[in-house]
Structures are given as structure tokens and as C-alpha cells.
Amino acid sequence: MVTGAAGFAGGHLVSQLAPEGPVEGWYRPGAPPPAGRVGDDGVTWRAVDLRDEAAVSAALTVAQPAAVYHLAGAANQGASWADTDVTFELNAFVTHVLLRAVQAHAREARVLVTTSAAVYRPSTVAVDEDAPLGPLSPYGVSKLAQEMVALRAVAEQDLDVVVVRPFNHIGPGQEASYVAAAFARQLARIEAGEDPPRLLVGNLQPRRDLTDVRDTVRAYRLLMARAPRGGIYNVCGGVAFAISELLDLLRASVNVEVAVDIDPTRLRPSDQPMLLGDRTRLTALTGWVPEIPIAQTLREILDEQRRAVRELHG
């Protein structure tokens, strides 16, 4: 079972899991299930409000999953400054509700809880799982709270829970509010003549550990199979890319000259200079290494945005 199954990482995870057996994908009530996926590919789609413990309990009682991948939550760190209450509700509170329901109705299920590398204190070197914690944003604080809820369920309810701290992951299907897709959408519109050749950007100096989302969810699957209960694992590539490098790679793939201008509205209240992970623990346990080069990922993101612009404007 996958929560957040209609989301970015959730959709890629469902696609990997479906060929190997029945999958139940939970998505937000009021939104349609992914187009073309209803009843297909061994996936059962179910609209479940994760804030509603009665609804979660009823759905779990029916599903009786052997494994629960909990990917649902508020994912936009920048938006957390304006929507702090919602961020905490969708990350920490929803995880509390889900794990209480698992304890009552699917106690034998193994649960993977995705928190975030945003829980770490800023560092100029790669951080492993024992590095000091000290989130800078409401999003990071909510993810640390989520993690504490998950680990409490292991210690006090003896649930079989594994915690993963994914670093930044990008790829096809990501909303254009995220940096790589946002650059690609602007470039696709410029290339199509829909916008002037002027790209608006935020801070290009931060360095981020980036992994293709398909590699990221592959790591989740390996950890679900092999990690001990209560384990905490970074999921990261171990290489930090400057945001300017992403932009340069994308600009090199378009056939027009594009100027770059800083847009103050795109600057975050807090933007740490570097976020780089150490994946030694993950790789030692599972043998996982990233397989998809970031240059390939960026090309696929740009091609996706080009298709979206063509479909929108004919």
C-alpha cells in the first residue's frame, strides 16, 4: 500500500511495485485518481483522508497490507513558511493517525516513513545519519516531528517501521513549482515563443544533493526488504550540484539564447548554502547506488515540459 500514491514520488513507486503484485494506492479525496490507471496494472485506487482516523482504520481493515509506504504529506519546503499549520498537520499529525491505525488494524505490516534531509543542522560537509539535527524551516521541523512519531511507534508500540531521509529528488512528473521543473517550464515556453527570452530565478548558489526520483524509490523498496525495524537511512547520491549547474545544463539543451534575472519573490527566507548526504549506510546494507545520471534526468524533465507547452498551446 502506498499513501500519496498520486503524487510525484508515489506515482513512480507505484509504477515500480505494480508489476510484482497487487498494489493499493491511496490518494486525496476530491482529486481524481491518476488518469488511465483505474483498475489497470494491478493497482487498486482508494480515496482516503489521512487526517480522519476512522476513514484510515476502515480502509486498512479492508486492505490488510503486508507493507505500507507512507509518502503522503506536505512536500514544498518554501510554502511551509506561509502554510505552517497545514505542513504540520499533513506531515506529523497524519503520520500519527496512520501508525495508530496500523497498530489497531494491520499490526503485522511493515511501514516505511519518508521524512527529509531537511531535519539536519546546516553543514559544510556530507552528513550521515548521526549528524546533528537542527531544521531551518517549518517544513524541516514538521519532518523531524514526523520522524519522532515514527520512532516512538517502534519503541512503544513495537511496530515494524523504517525511517528514510530522502535528499532532493527530481524527475519527470514533478510539479513546476520545484526548481528543475520550474526552469524547464520557463525554457520550454521561451523556446516555443510564448515568453520573452528572459528566465526568472531565485538563489542559484546553493548546492544540493540530487537524485533521480526513480532511483530514490528503488532505494525505498530495497530498504523495505532489508532494513531492520527502527533503522534510519539517508537516501541520496552523495554529490552536491549548484543550482546554477542545473540551469546551465538545461539552457544548453534549448535552441535560443536566454538571459537570466534574479526574481526577489523566488528567494526563500532561509536557504542553506549546501545540503550533501552520506549514503554509506544505505549502500552497505543494500548495494544501492544511483543509476540514472542527472543530465539524463534534466533532459527528460525538459522534454516533458516541452510536451506540456505544446499541448496547452496547440
190-241 pLDDT tens trace: 999 999 999 999 899 999 999 999 999 999 999 999 999 999 999 999 999 9
Q: Please give the tally of structural domains in the chain.
A: 2
Q: Is the residue at 286 inside a domain?
A: no
Tell me the three cell numbers of residue 170.
Answer: 527530481
- DSSP letters along 267-305, please? --S---SEE-B--HHHHHHH-----S-HHHHHHHHHHHH
Picking from 110, 27, 34, the residue whose alpha carbon sits closest to that of residue 67 is 110
Q: Is the residue at 280 inside a domain?
A: no
3-class secondary-structure state, position 15: helix
Q: Is the residue at 19 inside a domain?
A: yes
Mean pLDDT of 43-52: 95
Can you give the CATH number for the domain in which 67 is found? 3.40.50.720
Q: Is the residue at 279 inside a domain?
A: no
Which secondary-structure segment (H or E) carries 45? strand 43-47
List the alpha helices (DSSP H) in the chain.
Answer: 8-17, 53-63, 84-88, 94-105, 138-157, 179-191, 213-226, 243-251, 280-286, 294-313
| Res. 312: pLDDT tops 50 | yes
| Res. 83: pLDDT tops 50 | yes
Q: CA 123: distance to chain centroid?
A: 21
Indicate if 95 and 196 belong to the same structural domain: no
Which secondary-structure segment (H or E) carries 212? strand 207-212
Q: Is the residue at 284 inside a domain?
A: no
> Angle of helix 138-157 relative to helix 94-105, nearest 10 degrees?
20
Distances in Å between the alpha carbon of 201 and those of 50, 70, 166, 186, 261?
35, 32, 24, 10, 6
Q: Is the residue at 214 inside a domain?
A: yes
Find the domain containing 228 and state its range. Answer: 2-170+210-235
Say what the pLDDT of residue 266 is: 75
pLDDT top residue among 263 and 183:
183
Question: Do 282 and 233 touch, CB atoms closer than 8 A?
Answer: yes
pLDDT confidence bin for 153, thresholds 50/70/90: very high
Say what the pLDDT of residue 63 is: 95
Tell me the three cell numbers of residue 119.
Answer: 531535519
Indicate if 188 and 142 belong to the same structural domain: no
Q: What is the mean pLDDT of the chain?
A: 93
What is the helix, strand, coil percentage profile of the chain, to 5?
45, 20, 35
Lowest mean pLDDT among 6-20, 34-48, 52-66, 245-259: 34-48
Q: Is the residue at 56 inside a domain?
A: yes
